[in-house]
Amino acid sequence: MNYAIIAAGEGSRLAREGFQLPKPMVSLHGEMLIDRLIRIFMNNNATTIRIIINEQSPALEQHMMQQSLAYPIEIVRKTTPSSLHSMHELLASGRQMEAVCVTTTDTVFREEEFAAFIRDFENDRDHDGHMAVTSFIDDESPLFVATDESQIIRAFEDKNSSATPYVSGGIYCLRQRGIALAGRCVQAGVSRMRNFQREMLQEGLLLKAYPFSKIVDVDHVEDIRTAELFLQPDSIAPAF
């Protein structure tokens, strides 16, 4: 399985609140967010892990270079204007992929739920992509995900006009049609991840929602404590 991590954000809100390291270096129970993702991906049959970091993060770059000596990590060093542009850089670099799981670096979830999500995607060739969703809303600007009774995604909404319980969880499993569309969207001037998701539906891609019990985004210092409470120490797996 191919994985990709968007770690190119500046973490400006954390910086304003006193956290001086890049966001991917936030630690939960002594483990950095970026290291946690790498470990989880390795535990779920990672063949490659592509990571994009910005050009103003020397501490993160040094840490990633050390990690790449032991794990199948490919680093893309580029400052981008949005998470969609970062995803495009990850998907366009290196060898072509038939399928990939992309996540942002600040997405915190339960490992067992992620493993089930990956298994479901790998065993399902009928859909162009699987999107992680959750009914736990802590995002300042959530993207609501409307589905039918079979969990097929019908709409991505800025406002919850359909009374859906789901919001996007920031984890995207895509097959070739979705991977190719990301590049076309960037070239056409699409500038937000949520607009790319809407474009997938407009292009007729079949997307399935996969519910997680809870997904926490680490955007503020207080979110670190929320994530640590969510991941109780006895639920953290040993280091890989």
- pLDDT of residue 238 exceeding 50: no
Question: What pLDDT score was predicted for residue 94?
Answer: 56
Report the candidate in 92, 53, 46 with the shortest Cα–Cα distance to residue 71: 46
Tens digit of each residue's pLDDT (9 = 90 or more) over 176-217? 999 999 999 999 999 899 999 999 999 999 999 999 999 999
CA pair distance 77, 167, nearest whole angstrom: 30
* pLDDT on residue 18: 82
Ranges of each domain in the chain: 2-233
Confidence at residue 95, expressed as pLDDT on a 0 to 100 scale = 63
Determine the pLDDT at residue 184. Answer: 94
pTM over 0.85: yes
Q: Residue 236: is its pLDDT beyond 50?
A: no
Tally of CB atoms within 10 A around 206: 14
Separation of alpha carbons 193 and 147, rounded Å: 19
Return the CATH architecture of domain 2-233: Alpha-Beta Complex (3.90)
Residue 35 is inside which H or E element, if any? helix 33-42
pLDDT recorded at residue 140? 81
